[in-house]
Structure 1
């Protein structure tokens, strides 16, 4: 059985990545991500998680292999077309990457404004999102006045506000307390139920048990472990009541 190409969000085939002349940090990585699925990416420090995420959000090109995203060859695509492809992605960076001179509200609103949304269609969704992540009283604050955990929540709100087709999150709960970590994970789940494919990189083993329908992608020294073949074929979905 071969998955239907139209049902794939991302396809990696024998991808390798090295920086400069050093050894490969990723070797022979192959997997398929499907619409509406939830994946955890895990592995020891140095296993290559951040490098794999960079390939997923198009910040890095591989040294070898093939990558297709949304039916497009992401390696041979002209660089001037990459911004349009990136608009279909939401990214939560480990270092947040908030715009320092913008308020929390304006940072979260940025993807909507870039996409051309009318201002009247921005205000309420952004306010609701900031309330959800517990920052309703910090909308006007600039990043420098926010704690690390607050900055993380602004970064997550910005990544999900546009309901991206693919959400990539690098250790998104690393700077928040356990209760907020679960709440943010529920936000990712809600987005996933609306059809977004979610990839969350984490070293927190407790989080892996919080999403029963998730698939686990394990990296070990730059190689992806997939003993069941679950990352090559569409995951099974529940057919009865939840």
Structure 2
């Protein structure tokens, strides 16, 4: 399987503090599905930030889509980021835009016309159960509804890689299953998916997914082949 991401001996520290990630090395196969697990504070969010280019490492090599992401000129980063869909823990919706316009934003940035984007946006809103909330703005939505808007926005453009940080933490179990099915369907279309989660039930729903576990800033299974027995702590 061709690799879409390679990390080699990557370390990350914020300021002068201790490293939050140490000697992290792994590859992500193109079109594969990964779950990233680990205790709170293990470094999952920091690792995801490196994946979607919000943070540069303190040391080590990161190759993304075949190019060196560490030395890449800042002017090229926005174009690379458009190839990555991101679901943030804090949603990061544009507060003055409607649900429809938040979801349509990536397609507009990509240059799609209003006529072309209307159908896919409305179909996506229906899929995540927000068709009747298309005109609502984020401050009027519940946490779970905002999470669904954030996920719809992240996947609407069929990104080459999807990175999701605890994407089902604010929705009920039925909606969590539905959203995971959406990630799985996107993965089957060729998108590499990386989901950080504590939810063992969700992990069990994607039997072919690979597992990566962080333990105090170190990757305990860099091959991505780790499997957790039922009831094991995530």
Render the CA deviation track for 1:157-184: whole Å, top value 9, x for unaligned: 0000000000000000000000100100
* Match in the other structure for 1:219: 214
* Match in the other structure for 1:50: 45
1:125 pairs with 2:120: yes
Tell me the distance in 2 between the aligned counterparts of 1:130 and 1:35: 27
Runs of 5+ unmatched residues, structure 2: 226-234
Contact 2:34/2:224 (8 A) holds in 1:
no
Runs of 5+ unmatched residues, structure 1: 232-242
* Match in the other structure for 1:33: 28
* Match in the other structure for 2:54: 59
Tell me the distance in 2 between the aligned counterparts of 1:39 and 1:186: 14
Question: Residues 119-198 of structure 1: matches in 2 within 5 Å?
Answer: 119-198=114-193
Render the CA deviation track for 1:36-78: whole Å, top value 9, x for unaligned: 1000000000000000000001000000000000011000000
* CA spacing shift, 1:103–1:59, aligned 2, 3 Å: same
**C-alpha deviation, 1:119, in angstroms:** 1.2
Render the CA deviation track for 1:4-36: whole Å, top value 9, x for unaligned: xxx211000000000011110000001101111
1:101 pairs with 2:76: no
Secondary structure, aligned partner of 1:176: coil
**TM-score under structure 2 length normalisation:** 0.95
Root-mean-square deviation (Å)? 1.0
Runs of 4 or more consecutive aligned structure 1 residues displaced over 3 Å after TM superposition: none
Tell me the distance in 1 between the aligned counterparts of 2:68 and 2:47: 17
Tell me the distance in 2 between the aligned counterparts of 1:33 and 1:132: 28
Tell me the distance in 2 between the aligned counterparts of 1:143 and 1:230: 36
Of 76, 81, 84, the match for 1:86? 81
**TM-score under structure 1 length normalisation:** 0.91
Question: Residues 7-18 of structure 1: matches in 2 within 5 Å?
Answer: 7-18=2-13
The alignment of Structure 1 onto Structure 2 pairs a total of residues equal to 225
